[in-house]
Every structure is written in C-alpha cells, then in structure tokens.
Chains A and B, each alone.
Chain A
C-alpha cells in the first residue's frame, strides 16, 4: 500500500518486508520466545564459576608479570619455528592457489576444470585448521611438517576462492579487447586478467600471512609444532607467567604484521 488517501491529502508509506500483518507479528513473537527459551536452557553451575574465577584472575594477573626469561630458549625456538612454518606455508600456498583460483573462475575456465577446482576449494574450506592439523599430525607425526602442510592446505582454499571470485568480477570488456588482438589464452590471462586482480591478490596474500601466523599458534596445541606447542606446554605446567609472555609476543607480532600489511595494501592500487 504505497499510497493512502487521507483527510489531509495523499500519504505515502514504505512497503513492509512482510506485508501480512498477523504473519509479521507472529514471526517476531516466535523469535523472541525462542531466544528466551534458549537462554533459559543454558545450565550455569554458579559454584563452579565462583571457583574458576580465582583461576581466571590468576591467569589474567600473570599478564602483569609476564616471564620472558625462564623459558626464553623454548620461546625463541617456538617463535622461530612458527615464523618458518608461516612463511613457507604461505609462499607454497600462494603458488598452488593461483592455478586453482584461475581454474575456479567460471568466466574463463571450462566447466570440468571449474568443477574440479571449486571442489578442491570447498574441501579445503570445509575443515577448520585444527581438524586438518590433527589429520596431518596422525599422518606425519608431531612437528612443524604437519603444521606447514595444514597451513598450506588452508591457504589454498582461502586464496583460491577469493582469487576466483575476484576474477569472476573483472571487467569483461578489457578481456574482450585483448582477445580481439589475436592473443592466446595465457596472453589474455597475463595481459588482461592479471593486471586487474594483482593488487587484491597481493593484499590477500599479506592478510593470509598474518592469519597463518595466528593459526600456527592454535594448531601447535594439537601437536603441529611452532609456538603453539610451547604455549600448550606452559599451560599444562600452570606456568601462566610464561604463557602470558608467549601471548604478548604473539600479539606484538600480529600487530606488526597487521601494520605492515596495511602499508603494503595502501601502496598498491
């Protein structure tokens, strides 16, 4: 009912998303009731919370006195291993994700190739890093190799998908123009597609480097090497001051990576 005749003249009202009033109100009510029921079903053990509060506070308190030194050798080794894992996995991941991403772009790849590449991406994106890490640890044993493979695999899914979506969004006229000069497929790829997607690909790669570093801390907990392993050991030993030191180092490194990637992405375009 966009127009309504009233005493003062013609009136205009915005269309509602759901026009049927009873239906609209009952849907809102149903939503509210569901949230209320869901909240009441969460069972909170208040005694346990009280007990845990102290432990939580001790954990947070240790951040005031982080201990960088008593385990400095292990921390240094862990950080170094994490950085190595991250850099190698990101580099290999980028190299592998480019062909997969190009193949998964519906506007330039023939259907069978498109289907295969999209499947690879879906598989890689379906499993969280931790699950993949557990799988690779089972296959290759504890250590950095499992971690590197995990991060490489995750990087392929992430970068290839975003690259493929980006290629599907390119300006088709620029590609048409290069094709009309008699250029071959790979010339079209490097002369029209690449210039259009390159800045974003570099930006995403730097972003993925930063994600991979953070992930290396998580997958280390399930045995895939790096700083995560050191972190896990310190928690198991209740050495929260060392834990705090490790977390602070991770935060600082991630912040530096974030800052650097910001600068790099601004430089592009």
Chain B
C-alpha cells in the first residue's frame, strides 16, 4: 500500500539525506525505523507526506504517486496520511477539542473551519477518540495545560480523526518517561491493529522497536542496511547501523572508557599550557 522507489533527498548543502531508498509496506504493518541521528529517518517519513520535498524517486500510496502531486491534490492526499510528532506538535493555545478537530481541516472549507462549524458526525467521532485515548474529561482544557503523555494522546487522536490510510510517527516517545513511552507505544499499536492501519515509526530506542514492531528497518547514511523481523536484529547488525559500541548491556567497558577519557584530558591540559 506504500511503495517507495529509489527515493533520493539532497539538501541544499549537497548532503544526501536519503540515498536511493526503496521500500514496500503493507496494510496493518507496524514498522520501526531505527538508525543514528542524521541517518535520514525523519526525512524519510516527512517525504511520504511531502513536508519535505524529495529530490527524486516515487512515493506510491494506494496506487497514487504522491511525489508528483500539487496544490489541492496534495492536500487531499495528505489528509489520508496521519502524522504523530516528537514534541506532540499541538497548537498550544487551542483547546484539546480544537486540536483533535484540526484533524478534519482537510475535509472542510475555510469559513467553516474559521467559525469552528464542525459537523455533528465529526464532533461525535472526536469525542469517541477522546474517550478511546482516555482524555474525556479534559476536552475543554488548553493543550498547554496537559502533561507530556496526555499531549501525545491528543496528537494520536488528531491523526486518527483524519481517518488515514497510514500513520507516520516521528519519535513518539523521545520526550516521555519510560513508563509513559511504553503506554503510548501500546496505544499506537492497539489503535493501528483495530483499524488495520500501516504505521511507520521512527524510534531512537531499539528496545521499544523490538518490543512493539512487526518489522524493523535500519537506516545508515540515507541507505537501508537492515530490513527484517525484530528477532533478526543482533549485535553485529546494530554495529552495522550505529557503529562500534558494546551492545551487551554490561558496564565493564565503562571502566576502560573512563580511563581513556582521563588520559585524553591530561593530554589536552598539556596542550593548552604548551600553547599559552
């Protein structure tokens, strides 16, 4: 249902954020995108709804090439692609209800949206979602009065009110504590399986990726270096994605690296004094 072909994204500076990415996703899949900072994860999902313009390649959603759309056509395509953001990206001074209902903006005209004239169907759906994410009593609060976890729930409800065909999720847990992070990931997973939705999720936390996804894609320097089930992800592959590091989780190595740091520190002191 989502097919990326030879996607290339070159920034003005000449840096290649995506270097020929070809991927195929199916309905109902939960896919985690992992990789070091700057690997192109964020660029990749932003290319799908064209918040970022790819330099070349095709993006096929349900048989329609998103990469060539313009104006109204592009907006029509965007409303079927829900997006959930790292810093929640709620409009802080609007209420919870307004934030959720903003998921319907693509379906209505300007004046109706200006006067907040949402159809009773939309309002009912919004209230249902609000209940589903557990925020019923907060509907009239301003978004900036909520906690991080609550805000992310509003973000999820907004994306789902678009009645999307797929969800793009950009580091949904990066600003949350471990417990809330797990709750949010579980909620996303449940909602997606209820609706048989494809979700492409950027994650920093490999543990969370293994725990909640059906499929993991590893990106490094704009290329796909791993694409398989979570069980296949091992230390060798993690090293290939992120570079050399101790993945065993024990602390022995820390002692060694602390000694190395100490040594380097002394050296730089000498250097500073010599240059005085």
Contacts and interface: CB of A to CB of B under 8 A. Distances in A.
A192 interface: yes
Given A181-B105, A182-B78, A183-B106, A190 B91 contact: no
Interface string A174-195: 1011111111101100111001
Contact of B272 (A3, A179, A187): A3
Interface in A15-66: none
B93 interface: yes
Contact of A3 (B90, B94, B102, B273): B273
Contacts of A4: 276
A183 B105 contact: yes
Q: Which of A3, A171, A184, A192 has the most CB of B within 10 A?
A: A184
B91 A180 contact: no
Contacts of B82: 180
B93 A190 contact: no
Interface in B89-113: 89-94, 98, 102-107, 110, 113
Contact of A182 (B79, B93, B114): B79
A73 interface: no
Contacts of A171: 92
Given A173-B89, A177-B89, A177-B91, A183 B83 contact: no
A263 interface: no
- Majority SS of interface residues in chain A? helix
A198 interface: yes
Nearest to B99: A177
A191 B51 contact: no
B102 A176 contact: no
Given A183-B102, A186-B110, A178 B162 contact: no
A198 B155 CA distance: 23
A62 B119 CA distance: 68
A199 B92 CA distance: 13
B105 A195 contact: no
B158 A181 contact: yes
Interface size class of A (residues with CB under 8 A): 20 to 34
Q: Which of B77, B81, B110 has the most CB of A within 10 A?
A: B110
Given A187-B113, A190-B114, A179 B79 contact: no
A125 B87 CA distance: 38
A5 interface: yes
A269 to B, nearest CB: 9
A180 B114 contact: no
Given A10-B273, A173-B85, A191-B113, 4 more contacts: A173-B87, A177-B89, A177-B155, A182-B78
Interface of B: 49, 51, 75-83, 85, 87, 89-94, 98, 102-107, 110, 113-114, 155, 158, 162, 269, 272-273, 276
19 contacts: A5-B276, A171-B92, A174-B89, A174-B92, A177-B85, A178-B105, A180-B78, A181-B79, A181-B106, A181-B162, A182-B77, A182-B79, A184-B110, A186-B110, A191-B94, A191-B105, A195-B92, A196-B91, A196-B93
Closest 8 CB pairs of A and B: A182-B106, A182-B79, A177-B89, A183-B105, A182-B78, A195-B93, A180-B83, A173-B89
